[in-house]
A and B are shown apart, each in its own frame.
Chain A
Amino acid sequence: MITLEHVSKTFRAQAGEIEAVKDVSLDIGQGEIHGVIGFSGAGKSTLVRCMNLLERPDSGKVFVDGAELTALGKRELRDARRRMGMIFQQFNLFASRTALENVAYPLRYGALSKGAADRKARELLSFVGLDDKEGAYPSQLSGGQKQRVAIARALANDPVALLCDEATSALDPQTTHSILKLLKELNARLGITIVVITHEMQVVKEICGRVTVMENGEAVESGDVFSVFANPQKSITRDFIDTTTNISKITALIEEGHELTALKPDERILKFKYVEKTAAEALVSTISRRFGVDVNILFANLDWIEGAPLGEMISVVSGRSADIDAAMEFMRERSVSVEVILNG
């Protein structure tokens, strides 16, 4: 649906050149919800602007729905842009227009009469759950409502793809959740391809099927969300994943010498990672019974990503050294990865 081939974009500023996007190639499939995650300044916003040519890449090609955007003339490009919706962190609604007029804005160009455009805009507003707000001006709407209006506006021309640039970053957690739910619904009901730019791994975890991690303008890691979460390749990816759980707090506890981490000689702190369906098995009680070790769970996190369980657990395991080794071996045989965090 959206293909980027060796796309690069450099900005020339007074301080020198900034390579915002460096040779990024990306293939986003039809109907996919694709996350692009990175810290601010990683180039992800520039990357998404290259997808509808709000920023023209210095080199590389952009294809959307089979058409090469980078080869289109002005007029065709405008038509192509109408086939893609875009929403923003700051909503970017027209302050002087009502919710209905905002949604109708992209429609008034085309063949539609004012009546037909308003009818369609009304349908879209009702689809995003704002039937009663059509006469409201943006200043009278909450952040979540504004983003809903923006989504309705982005959908006005029945686009094949929706680009979301930090669409939930200005919203509180509840509202974020409801907007993500709406995006997921759009994807399921309309089959629309969605690109989600974010710096929050939580967002990726909640709705994305595939994810691309960006760092310093480069796409450093890409894959389906489950395998990226289960088996991250790059340290930046691990950092992002850590933000979604409290597992990484163990490091801080050890560093500050918390009493929980003051181990006796027959104790070890282990990190278990369940990456396959094993998360459903009662492995902790099993090793406890079979190898006579005690397992004290310090942190644990179980996620469902794309319908598959993904679990992590940090525990203090105490018992005879040989028994602990055997228990670790047993877990590994069950494809649970085991890592020693601290030896007593």
Chain B
Amino acid sequence: MADFLEKLMPNIMYKPEVYVRSIKETLVMLGWSGAVSFLLGMFLGVVLIVTQRGGVMENRAVNQVFDKLINFFRSIPFIVLLAGLIPLTRLLMGTAIGVKGAFVPLVFGTTPFFARQVEAALAEIDKGVIEAALASGSGTAGIIFRVYLRESIASITRATTITIISLIGLTAMAGAVGAGGLGDFAIRYGHQRNQIDVTYVTTLTLVLMVSVIQVIGNFIARKNTR
């Protein structure tokens, strides 16, 4: 078996610990920046919805500020964001390279994208349902947590799945500028040293990750669709 694998992917088998470390790094980047982007994106999406015209906390100024801010960051290509955020990353993380250095740009790249999707998911909730909750005495917090978020579990799950998958893409890109992880592994060995099996195995690993996330996402979404 080992012989066979060595034949199939000699460069991976030569340094399996690097491969495993790359996977771990990718997962660490995914976990941290994903979790933070999830919370921030949720927050922003909710803010956009409740402060919009006719929302439960209507506030035109706040709505416009967040709306424009999100548009601003969404229009910057990620590769430019990576470079542009270096000073801020240094300030916040103490370094602009490695897994730690990738965290800030990943969050900035993902949060606005996810916030827009949360906004779209919450916008699907029928105004009448909000009205019914208000009529039964719900306050703003009740409307947000017991109606908006609760009623949109399925669509937020789908949004989360899409976002995590696009985040995997971003971590690989961040790898190109020294963030580590599978992207870095593929570029450094597969591309620069022409170890073609590294590129293939990395690609397969990413395909597997994406598939697992998609399957889990679909499962949760289906469970919560009524």
Interface set of A (CB-CB < 8 Å, partner B)? 52, 54, 74, 78-79, 81-82, 84-86, 88, 90, 92-97, 105-106, 108-109, 137-139, 150, 153-154, 156-157, 163
Contacts and interface: CB of A to CB of B under 8 A. Distances in A.
Given A82-B137, A86-B132, A96 B150 contact: yes
A96 B157 CA distance: 14
Interface of B: 126, 128-129, 131-139, 142, 146-147, 150-151, 153-154, 224, 226
Main secondary structure of the interface of A (DSSP, over half): mixed
Nearest to B126: A92
Contacts of B134: 54, 81
A95 B136 CA distance: 16
Contact of B136 (A96, A137, A139, A157): A157
Contacts of B133: 94, 105
Closest CB pairs A-B (n = 4):
A82-B137, A106-B136, A92-B132, A86-B135
Contacts of B136: 81-82, 85-86, 105-106, 153-154, 156-157
Nearest to A110: B137
Nearest to B135: A86
A84 B134 CA distance: 11
29 contacts: A52-B135, A54-B135, A78-B137, A78-B139, A79-B137, A81-B135, A81-B136, A82-B137, A85-B135, A86-B132, A88-B128, A92-B126, A92-B128, A93-B132, A94-B147, A96-B150, A96-B224, A97-B150, A105-B136, A106-B136, A109-B137, A137-B226, A138-B226, A153-B132, A154-B136, A156-B136, A157-B136, A157-B137, A163-B135
A54 B133 CA distance: 11
A213 B76 CA distance: 58
Contacts of B137: 78-79, 81-82, 106, 109, 157
A95 B126 CA distance: 10
Nearest to A139: B226
B83 to A, nearest CB: 43
Contacts of A153: 132, 136
Contacts of B154: 96
A78 B126 CA distance: 21
Main secondary structure of the interface of B (DSSP, over half): helix
Contacts of A86: 132, 135-136
B76 to A, nearest CB: 33
B64 to A, nearest CB: 18
Given A79-B137, A109-B137, A94 B151 contact: yes
A107 to B, nearest CB: 9
B57 to A, nearest CB: 11
A106 B153 CA distance: 20
Contact of B153 (A96, A109, A157): A96
A64 to B, nearest CB: 13
A154 B134 CA distance: 12
B131 to A, nearest CB: 6
Given A84-B135, A86-B136, 12 more contacts: A78-B137, A78-B139, A86-B132, A88-B132, A90-B128, A92-B128, A93-B132, A94-B151, A95-B129, A96-B151, A109-B142, A137-B226
Contacts of A90: 126, 128
Contacts of A156: 136
A54 B130 CA distance: 11
A156 B147 CA distance: 17
Nearest to B128: A92
A94 B139 contact: no
A106 B143 CA distance: 12
Contacts of A157: 136-137
Nearest to B226: A137
A13 to B, nearest CB: 11
B150 to A, nearest CB: 6
Contacts of B126: 90, 92
A176 to B, nearest CB: 19
Contacts of B129: 92-95
A79 to B, nearest CB: 7
Contacts of A84: 135
Contacts of B147: 94
A127 to B, nearest CB: 17
Contacts of B135: 52, 54, 81, 84-86, 163
A92 B131 contact: yes
A90 B151 CA distance: 17
A304 B131 CA distance: 36
Contacts of B224: 96
A97 B154 CA distance: 13
Contacts of B142: 109
B131 A88 contact: yes
Q: Which of B129, B138, B139, B226 has the most CB atoms of chain A within a 10 A radius of its CB?
A: B226
Contacts of B139: 74, 78
A87 to B, nearest CB: 8
A92 B153 CA distance: 18
A252 to B, nearest CB: 38
Nearest to B130: A92
A156 B136 CA distance: 9
A106 B138 CA distance: 8
